[in-house]
A and B are shown apart, each in its own frame.
Chain A
């Protein structure tokens, strides 16, 4: 296993957010972590990165214990995080943002690969990152993380605030990472989109792993459907229920 969390508890101050979480990510896999707001999904990624203190348990990356390593050392060992809401350097150009992605490793030779992979970035190379649209920013964030040629990428809500077409585009890019031999742990509110590209998935509830299994099994699991995939009737049934509620309350 490339990444292993072994009975990990972690959190801020005295109150733990994660309780006894065990999770694995194998090389070449896309693993989705889904759950409600406040379930601890982002905390789990931050725990792996060493940004949140682990109180119990061990985290191993490629067989090596990284539990109490400082964040820069974890990055150098081959893990890159794409944080929630992208967190680009807004007043730097696209190219400068990408170069910052190679800062920890001291190696920026991946720049050309990224510009080839995302032609839009070659076009916008000298534009300030904050002037890009949300979808373009997400691509820059992905490319920036890929600059260090990480063996594992942690993605935090890559679909947040993106148009449906762009979500599909980003998900295709993430699936392409796996085809290129990459490994991904993705945290998503949009369970539908994440499970569609994932090999395996975990469901986090109140800081504990409630369910795990192959993505196609989770997609048809009644409990998952009820809680994360739009309830009865799945993703698209929500629209009909919203329309019915509107008719009931507004009479139109």
Chain B
């Protein structure tokens, strides 16, 4: 556990233990109970909205399911409240699981509107259906009890609720600090790159939606037992908005921050209520929210964390040094794979980007794919790595047809790739970026693999840096290290030398040779002919979506068709 987590845990426990002793009156306990009920559901918001950037904001729909399930089961069927709470959570999770796959295909504002629409539907149903008590709702809900043992006084209910908050935070922190937490951040930064390291994007989104739904449902159950009644207005849009706003104020990317934010927003509301300015309450609330968001873009938790770093000094950023590649031995590939393309075609509208291309990347070779801009090289890369679907043809990796696989499954077969426009995860450190490459092997050993990969590419001292703060050439190395952390059997590199100067290009070449020396089959697209002709065992030339030549570097270089279509005259002599 890090220092920050330890401090947060202690502060949390002290506050939760002392609060009912300092404010024993039922009003203050009630405020604390409402805050706790909301805090339970913020963890799901942080995971899905804060980490994975999925704008699923209708969480209150699941709170409503929990609340109503409890009301009905306890009042009409005499269930034990704790059992009803668990049942409500299971019901919400089941519903979340059923609707998640189609719903989470939506992105951005469309997803936000869809989740709000779901919430609206439930409100309408609750109003219209007799079973839920219609507009009057359900009254006479008993006080909370665990297996018949009633939590008769508010103080024990307070502690019980905040115990649940602690459990939810603990679950959230475990997820945040695991490979899944990294995967969620990766999804937020670049779904394309996340797929390329074997992350199952849909699965993780659904998992978080289901976990978040369960937590929201528990939060709803707790609330109705405190209110002793429920009706359709309890879980209105205001509830959703308070939840999201609270989480943002607390810190959208921090599990602790979410819980803190819920507490802040509930207490703030009560404080304003005590001022007895009913007309101004919402206005002041809104203005304060906007001010906090402008002053602390990463929420209160982000602000506190920054103050802590400043006071304690944090770790001074290390100097980044680039050393010779290959400083650490990586595991070798004993049986290098062969890649065979046969009749591969893909059109975009009327544009035939790739048409009937077939060639073999021999096992253990360095093969270069060259051709003019727009020849279809990057499209072909996308077709191999599963980021694009082909219209016709076959792609065989070690004899296995892979053209119908998703990027994550291609990655799991051991095909790593880098991108033409760098696709680093800008919301994590360099080390975490590279650790994402290890995703297909799970969480254990990720850090050691990542450190080895960084040492192999020759990037030292960059581990805790933000990738965007590094010079471009170093960012390239980070991306290559991430692909190597996948322990690839084949590595595909899209214009690795683009934007590098001559010294860096030469270093990169040595790195590629060292990767090939591990037994990794290398396929690269590149325009720097010095690198292509110096490195490649086999060169394939494309133009207008078709293969126009193939062979060893020298014959290809002197091929008249290749000269006409691509190589042309070298840089023009300086006009005198």
Q: Is there an interface contact between B568 and A164, defined as CB atoms closer than 8 Å?
A: yes
A219 shortest CB reach to chain B, Å: 8
Interface membership of A107, Cβ < 8 A: no
Residues in A with CB closer than 8 Å to B501 are 36-37, 189, 191, 228
Flag if A242 contacts B572 (CB, 8 Å): no
| Residues 510 to 543 of chain B near chain A (Cβ within 8 Å) | 510, 513-514, 516-517, 527, 529-531, 533-535, 537
Choose the segment among B17-25, B31-39, B367-375, B431-439 that binds chain A (4+ C-beta atoms closer than 8 Å).
B367-375
Chain B residues in 8 Å Cβ range of A216:
574
Q: For residue A240, which residues in chain B have a CB less than 8 angstroms away from its CB?
A: 534
Query: CA separation between A171 and B572, bound complex, in Å?
Result: 9
**A164 and B421 in contact (CB under 8 A), knowing A134-B373, A252-B537?**
no
Q: What residue in chain B is nearest A179 (Cβ atoms)? A: B575
Decide if A166 is an interface residue (CB 8 Å cutoff): yes
Binary interface encoding of chain A residues 224-238 relative to chain B, with 1 for a CB under 8 A from any of its CBs, else 0: 000111110001101
Q: Given the known inter-chain contacts A131-B351, A165-B372, A246-B534, please indicate yes or no for A241 contacting B506, CB distance below 8 A.
A: yes
B517 near A249 (CB under 8 angstroms)? yes
Whether B472 is near chain A, meaning CB under 8 Å from some CB there, is yes
B533 adjacent to A189 (CB under 8 Å): no
Q: Which B residues are CB-close (under 8 A) to A135?
A: 372-374
In the assembled complex, the Cα of A240 lies from the Cα of B553 at a distance in Å of: 13
A181 CB to closest chain B CB (Å) equals 16
Known: A161-B527, A164-B570. A37 touches B502 (CB 8 A): no
Say if the beta carbon of B98 comes within 8 Å of chain A.
no
Interface status of B473 (Cβ within 8 A of chain A): yes
Taking the complex as formed, is A197 at the interface, i.e. its CB lies under 8 A from any CB of chain B?
yes
Instruction: Return the chain A residue nearest B472 by Cβ.
Output: A37
Contact residues in A for B531 (Cβ distance below 8 Å): 238-239, 242
Contact across chains for B351 and A196 when beta carbons are under 8 A apart: no
Q: Report how far A2 CA is from B517 CA in the complex, Å.
A: 53
Chain A contact residues, majority secondary structure: helix
Tell me if A172 counts as interface (CB < 8 A to partner B): yes
Flag whether A122 is at the interface (Cβ < 8 A). no
Whether, in the assembled complex, A250 has its beta carbon less than 8 Å from a beta carbon of chain B, the answer is: yes
Residue numbers in A under 8 Å from B517 (CB-CB): 249-250
Q: Cβ of A238 and Cβ of B574 under 8 Å apart?
A: no
A-side interface residues, number (CB < 8 Å): 49
Among the stretches B251-259, B294-302, B398-406, B492-500, the one at the interface with A is: B492-500
Q: How far is the CB of A162 from chain B (nearest CB, A)?
A: 6
Q: Which of A38, A134, A242, A252 contacts B530 (CB 8 A)?
A: A242
Q: Which residue of B lies closest to A161 (CB)?
A: B498
Say which residue of B373, B505, B529 sits within 8 Å of A133 (CB atoms). B373
A157 CB–B CB distance under 8 Å: yes
Q: Residue of A at shortest CB range from B509?
A: A242
Closest B residue, CB atoms, query A188: B501
Q: Could you say which residues of chain B place their CB within 8 Å of the CB of A249? A: 510, 513-514, 517
Assess whether B571 is in contact with A167, with CB atoms less than 8 Å apart: yes
Q: Is the CB of A229 within 8 A of B502?
A: yes
A residues near B (Cβ < 8 Å) are 36-38, 85, 131-136, 157, 160-168, 171-172, 175, 189, 191-193, 196-197, 215-216, 227-231, 235-236, 238-243, 245-246, 249-250, 252
A37-B500, A160-B499, A230-B502 given; name 6 further pairs at CB < 8 Å.
Answer: A134-B374, A135-B373, A164-B568, A196-B572, A228-B502, A239-B530
Residues of chain B at the chain A interface (Cβ within 8 Å): 348, 351, 366, 370-374, 420-421, 471-474, 495, 498-506, 509-510, 513-514, 516-517, 527, 529-531, 533-535, 537, 566-575
Sample 19 A-B pairs with CB under 8 A, ordered by A number: A36-B471, A37-B474, A133-B373, A135-B374, A160-B498, A163-B371, A164-B529, A164-B568, A164-B570, A165-B569, A171-B572, A189-B500, A189-B501, A191-B501, A227-B502, A230-B530, A241-B534, A245-B510, A246-B513
